[in-house]
Structure 1
Amino acid sequence: MKVFQIVGVRKSGKTTTVECLIKKLKQRGYRVGTVKCINCPVFTIDADRHSNTARHAEAGADVVVAYGKREVDFIYPAPQDINQTLSILSVADLDYCIVEGGYEFDLPRIVCLKNEGEFSERCTERTFAVAGVMAETLKGRLDLPAFNAMSDEGLEALADLTESTVPELSLPVAVLPRPQSCRNFCRGCAGHNKNK
């Protein structure tokens, strides 16, 4: 499985870039998974604390599985190291896994930007491309290729580069220091100020 990440500030085009790459890689015949990093300290998939799955977790289950007719959801009711998560995904027979967010993971990286000043704190030695809302403006201004994933030509070139650049995953994934300007919490929920 090849794993890479897409990082950037809110409204920088990261989710759009993830969506476009998923579709393009799927068109090319690959199996694709994703990991969405959520910085909200109070986030839970089980918002209804009285649901049966929430009750299972509260009782101490290490893993809870919601086994439905339309989907199966695995709930790990405790924090988990990225290496554990990627190990679990490796049995899904994926060709690619895209991690959206996760500044602290030392993975091949695409950086999405709203302005050029955001680049230096988000770029690592493993950054291989720039995308997002500033991609067209930044073409030729950075030492990395810039792609507009919303254009057919840009998406095709970004997918080609991804295929040729991203290696097979080697665990463990090293942890990087999180840049000061990169939020470690969410905006707009009642619980985010408690855990800054």
Structure 2
Amino acid sequence: MKIFSVYGYTDSGKTTTIENIIKELRKRRFTVGSVKEIHYEEFEIDKEGTNTSRHKEAGSQLVTARGYHETDILYQKKLSVEEILSFYNHDYVILEGVTDYNMPKILTAKSIAEIRERIDDSVFVISGRVAEQISEYEGIPVINCMKNIDELTNLLINKVYDKLPDFSKNCCSECGYDCRTLGNKILRGEAKREDCSIKNTYTKLYIDDREIDMVPFVSKILNNAVLGVIKELDGYKKGSTIRIETKS
């Protein structure tokens, strides 16, 4: 799964950019999911007095509204990006307005001043209203999503890599960097997605069918602990695939 964010100030062209990208990716037969970050303190779907609100007030910790044409699941907390992404299994997931996660980003802006205020090393292309004024900013292409959606989509397909974990360098530095630095280097062509060693381990951990990323150190501990016990059992053969299921 490949993820990226489109972010920028209000009225800079975020949603328009995302709409055009979604249409173009779907036209090219990719599956697409999206996440909208809402920067409004009082936002809630289940307004006071609705049936779902009454369920919540009664103490339900997870409320599901099942209608004829959609199903809405309401959590009584703000989920992390990682938790939200666990519900997705698409070729591309686009996050609107999300900046607190390790992923490539498209910055939308109305002016060069806005670019200066919001840009960081994870931005690989700029779009939005500023595309009417410039075609490049310090080596980063500025593309009009209305006039050149093919060019914009080709670039993101080339640049956006499979989702990376988001560990700090103190936790894992097997590749020589922290996860965000590795992501930025991949965007600049200075590293490859395969340089991340997280997915290259023999031991994988799943909780409720969701794979949990483990740094190599933790993976080795779990691998050695399991093998230390399994090796003593009849039926063990070196190179076998071992599956363990447990409930907490």
Please indicate the TM-score interval, normalised by the length of the shorter structure: 0.7 to 0.9
Aligned-residue offset at 1:173: 7.5
Unaligned ranges ≥5, structure 2: 169-179, 181-248
The whole-number CA distance in structure 1 between the counterparts of 2:136 and 2:80 is: 37
1:60 aligned partner, one-letter code: G
Identity %, equivalent residues = 35
> Is 1:44–2:53 an aligned residue pair?
no
Change (3 A) 1:5 1:160: same
Tell me the alpha carbon deviations over residues 98-137 of structure 1, each in whole angstroms, 9 at most, x when there is no partner: 1110233332100001110111332221110000011131
SS at match of 1:7: strand
CA offsets, 1:167-191, max 9 Å, x none?
11123488x9xxxxxxxxxxxxxxx
**Structure 1 position 143, deviation (Å):** 1.6
Q: Please show how residues 169-188 of structure 1 align to structure 2 within 5 Å.
A: 169-172=163-166
In structure 2, relative to structure 1, the CA distance for the partners of 1:141 and 1:84 (3 Å cut) is: closer
Show the counterpart of 2:21.
Answer: 21
* Contact kept in structure 1, 2:102 and 2:164, CA below 8 Å: no
Distance 2:157 2:79 in 1: 28
Q: Does 1:121 align with 2:117?
A: yes
Match of residue 163 from structure 1: 157
In 2, distance between residues paired with 1:42 and 1:119?
29
Q: Do 1:82 and 1:173's aligned partners in 2 also have CA atoms closer than 8 Å?
A: no
Return the match for 1:109 from 105, 110, 120.
Answer: 105
Q: Deviations over 1:56-79 (max 9, x none)?
A: 222232321111111111111211
Query: Which letter maps to 1:12?
Result: S
Is the CA contact (8 Å cut-off) linking 2:135 and 2:141 kept in structure 1?
yes
Tell me how far apart the structure 1 counterparts of residues 137 and 117 of structure 2 sit (CA, whole Å): 17
Deviation at 1:96, TM superposition (A): 0.7
Tell me if the contact between 1:35 and 1:97 (Cα under 8 Å) persists in the aligned partners: yes
**1:144 aligned residue:** 140
Q: 2:131 aligns with which of 122, 129, 135?
A: 135
Unmatched runs of 5 consecutive residues or more in structure 1: 177-196
1:83·1:173 contact (CA, 8 Å) conserved in 2? no
Aligned counterpart, 2:69: 70
CA offset at residue 55 of structure 1?
A: 1.6
Q: Is the 8 A contact 2:102 2:165 kept in 1?
A: no
What is the rounded CA distance, in whole Å, between the counterparts of 2:135 and 2:30 in structure 1? 28
User: In 2, Cα distance between the equivalents of 1:137 and 1:24?
Assistant: 24
AA of the residue aligned to 1:26:
R
- Give TM-score, length-normalised by structure 1: 0.80
Partner Cα separation in structure 2 for residue 129 and residue 61 of structure 1: 43
Deviations 1:20-76 (A, max 9, x none): 0010001010111111100111100112x1111112222232321111111111111
Structure 1 residue 141 displacement after superposition: 3.9
TM-score (norm 2): 0.64
Match of 1:185 in 2: none
